[in-house]
Structure 1
Amino acid sequence: MNKTEIRTIFPHTSKEHIYLNHAAISPMSDRVKHAIEQFLADRNSGNIDNFEKWMELTQETRDLISELIGTQNSDHITFMGNTSDALSAVAKGIDWNKGDEIILNTMEFPSNIQPFRILENLGVKMVYLEPDEAGRITPEIIENAITSKTKMVSISFVQYLNGFRADLKSIGEICKANGIYFVVDGIQGLGAMPLSVQDCNIDALASGCHKWLMSPMGISFLYLSEKLSNNMKPYKTGWLSVEEPWEMSEFNKAWLPVSQHLETGTYNLLGIVGLHASLKYLLEIGIEAVQFEILKHSNFLISKLSNKEDVVLLTPNSPHEHAGIVTFKRKGEKSAEKIVNDLISRKITISARKGFIRISPHYYNTEEELQTALEAIF
């Protein structure tokens, strides 16, 4: 990986802006910016109606997502607006019975809670697991919580606060053995860590794309396994939800499978164009190479922070249990919010969450930037 060359397509790096907040929102590279500008130029003064080209690019983007998440069937990729939108489709598309249980946990970002909470109106029970002392939701914790009423397990690939990375493969095996749907919120892991929905037996994977995937806001995707897609009903439909939608005078048409007909009408093409450019570059670099750099960064931060007596480290320190998020608290008079705000004037961007400092570097960041940020904090 030629990091010097890579950093040239992220202009903020040349302006001495140390950006370490990718768990919130990422900068878009020049490649993404140029792709969006070309799309806007076409709409403004070019071909204007370039539908066939855009549909080809949309299919290419599905194929790139399929490559990223380890599935060969791009028909199972649906474009959505955000992670909550995608998880709501899952929650509302399944037939629920009174007394059914969904296993969640208390560390989750609300996107992986609220879409399921609405099911309490149907008598579905939310089972909230507590992490262990190390801040982990282990496969054993999940397995011990399963009952005859458990219908689904939903968990984040990487937790937004402490950065814990779930053992998705083991959890998927447990779910498969028990006939339970396995749902994953992928937004804090995809673009940072490799993932195979096939190897992990994932039934639904939902992810927005503006964090580690470094794409525009307002674009996300939902992957559905064939098993789950076949057992879901549509919670929304539109003119594109049927076979042969361009036969516009024929109304009584067969519905497409749920994995396809959730795209009810006009696509967010600007978002798809940006996502296409971002994914193409990410896969050119290689997700394993990206993972190597990100883990190198997080291990560096954890090592430095673990040696400080005035630090409470929230992130698990085992390399296979974290990804790109490192979260800690500095003991003393200054609050996390004040520390984060003080760093803004020094052109260093990190974030404060629940009284903790959260640093989330991406692959293009350097060790020198991390060291500078730590020196500014301490």
Structure 2
Amino acid sequence: MDLVEARELWNPEPGWLNTASYGLPPRPAWDALQSALAEWRAGRTSWEGWDASTGLARGAFARLVAVPTTDVAVGAAVSQLLAPVASALADGARVLVPDVEFTSNLFPWLVRPGVSVRTVPADRLAEAVDAGTDLVAFSLVQSADGAVARYDDVVDAARAHGALVVVDATQGCGWLPFDGSRADAVVVAAYKWLMAPRGVAFAYLAPALRERMIPSAAGWYAGEDMHASYYGPPLRLASDARRFDISPAWFSYVGVAPAMELLESVGVPAIRAHNVGLANRFLAGLGQPPRDSAIVTVDVPDAAAKLAAAGVRAAVRAGRVRASFHLYSTEADVDMALEALV
């Protein structure tokens, strides 16, 4: 499906420029969710059909970030998926993080006893990696201002010093192409650019990293054969990344699987060109140079109030208006915002 065809699957109210807070579901995702809810309400089916969406979504995520499906765990939130990574660090480990990192990729390291955390400006992260660094954790795209990380530079620096790499790709996965297999862990909350209901998160966990981790939240869904893992010992966990799964919120996965299939159909490079093109149209209208992100921030006096009065929904982060653009965003949305601000 091309981008023009795909865009017919949304009908949002004009002025939604806040995908960095939450994404809007395409019609197939919304319909699938409503159908599952109707089945639940009437009690006319078993859960296995809903759960099939978890496998479909896991596979779609693996393809989006270019990793094997067997290396992907499913969960509910970024911090939950990072917790066993933090627990696997040795006492005395040193973690390097950007100084304005979203706290879901900061608190798991700070809360770990015996681990020290050093912060530096995000654009200096690669240069700050040294022989004393055990793990580098950063966002692929910064939530506060949309800055895109120098992903390959940071990974290269980490590899040169034997450090692990953990990437929160929540604000990039779905519009920004990247090779997740270069990292040791990639975590994504899916309710933004993957347009899921809340309660869906994914983690790529490299095999070498998994060997150091304990699946302390393991339950029946982490079993090698989940249907044979309902009751009693012995421990019989999956041999791959599924051992770090938690039992999924079925309806959220029912809602995300069609959305991710649509992203795959359109193609992330085409989505990136569309999103960044609209972001740059917005910046140009304010007399600012183009950037390479679907998330942009601007300083305009009384901007939040002006946008609200015009019916434009954007966010305020770090004291600045943050606008974000996705498949369903239009030039008319951009012009609506510019008319309010200029």
Query: Which one of 117, 120, 123 corresponds to residue 126 of structure 1?
Result: 117
Q: Which has the higher contact order (CA 8 A, sep 6+)?
A: 2
Kept in 2: contact 1:340–1:352 (CA 8 A): no
Does residue 146 (structure 1) correspond to residue 136 (structure 2)? The answer is: no
Amino acid in the other structure paired with 2:129: I
Q: What secondary structure is seen at the aligned counterpart in 2 of 1:102?
A: strand
- Structure 2 equivalent of residue 21 of structure 1: 18
Alpha-carbon distance change, 297 to 26 in structure 1, aligned in 2, over 3 angstroms: same
Amino acid in the other structure paired with 2:62: S
Kept in 2: contact 1:295–1:323 (CA 8 A): yes
- Structure 2 equivalent of residue 111 of structure 1: 104
Kept in 1: contact 2:168–2:188 (CA 8 A): yes
- Structure 2 equivalent of residue 59 of structure 1: 55
Kept in 1: contact 2:284–2:290 (CA 8 A): no
Aligned length: 341
Amino acid in the other structure paired with 2:308: N
- What is the alpha-carbon distance in structure 2 between the residues aligned to residue 153 and residue 224 of structure 1? 15
- Structure 2 equivalent of residue 243 of structure 1: 224
- Structure 1 equivalent of residue 315 of structure 2: 351
- Structure 1 equivalent of residue 30 of structure 2: 33
Deviates more, 1:3-12 or 1:184-193: 3-12
1:89, distance to aligned residue in structure 2 (A): 3.0
- Structure 2 equivalent of residue 298 of structure 1: 279
- What is the alpha-carbon distance in structure 2 between the residues aligned to residue 90 and residue 337 of structure 1? 38
Q: What secondary structure is seen at the aligned counterpart in 1 of 2:180?
A: coil
- Structure 2 equivalent of residue 91 of structure 1: 86
Kept in 1: contact 2:139–2:167 (CA 8 A): yes
TM-score by length of 1: 0.84
Alpha-carbon distance change, 340 to 106 in structure 1, aligned in 2, over 3 angstroms: farther
- What is the alpha-carbon distance in structure 2 between the residues aligned to residue 292 and residue 143 of structure 1? 26
CA offset digits 1:163-214 (Å, max 9, x no partner): 110121222122222221100011110111112212xx11111111111111
Structure 1 ranges of 4+ moved more than 6 A: none
Amino acid in the other structure paired with 1:58: T
Alpha-carbon distance change, 57 to 129 in structure 1, aligned in 2, over 3 angstroms: same
Q: What secondary structure is seen at the aligned counterpart in 2 of 1:95?
A: coil
CA RMSD of aligned residues (A): 2.2
Please, which runs of 5 or more residues in structure 1 have no aligned partner? 132-136, 308-316
Please, which runs of 5 or more residues in structure 2 have no aligned partner? none
Kept in 2: contact 1:86–1:207 (CA 8 A): no
- What is the alpha-carbon distance in structure 2 between the residues aligned to residue 165 and residue 126 of structure 1? 22
Amino acid in the other structure paired with 1:68: L
Q: Which structure has the bigger radius of gyration? A: 1
Residues 1-378 of structure 1: pairs in structure 2 closer than 5 A: 5-13=5-13, 17-45=14-42, 47-51=44-48, 53-71=49-67, 73-92=68-87, 94-98=88-92, 100-119=93-112, 121-122=113-114, 124-131=115-122, 137=123, 141-198=124-181, 201-245=182-226, 246=228, 248=230, 250-257=232-239, 259-264=241-246, 266-306=247-287, 319=291, 322-330=292-300, 332=301, 334=302, 336-342=303-309, 346-378=310-342
1:5, distance to aligned residue in structure 2 (A): 4.3
Alpha-carbon distance change, 95 to 161 in structure 1, aligned in 2, over 3 angstroms: closer
Amino acid in the other structure paired with 2:11: P
CA offset digits 1:284-304 (Å, max 9, x no partner): 111111011011112222223
Q: Percent same amino acid among aligned pairs?
A: 24
Q: What secondary structure is seen at the aligned counterpart in 2 of 1:18?
A: coil
- What is the alpha-carbon distance in structure 2 between the residues aligned to residue 6 and residue 147 of structure 1? 45
Kept in 2: contact 1:326–1:360 (CA 8 A): yes
Amino acid in the other structure paired with 2:281: F
Alpha-carbon distance change, 374 to 269 in structure 1, aligned in 2, over 3 angstroms: same
Alpha-carbon distance change, 291 to 247 in structure 1, aligned in 2, over 3 angstroms: closer
Kept in 2: contact 1:230–1:257 (CA 8 A): no
- What is the alpha-carbon distance in structure 2 between the residues aligned to residue 247 and residue 369 of structure 1? 50
1:369, distance to aligned residue in structure 2 (A): 2.1
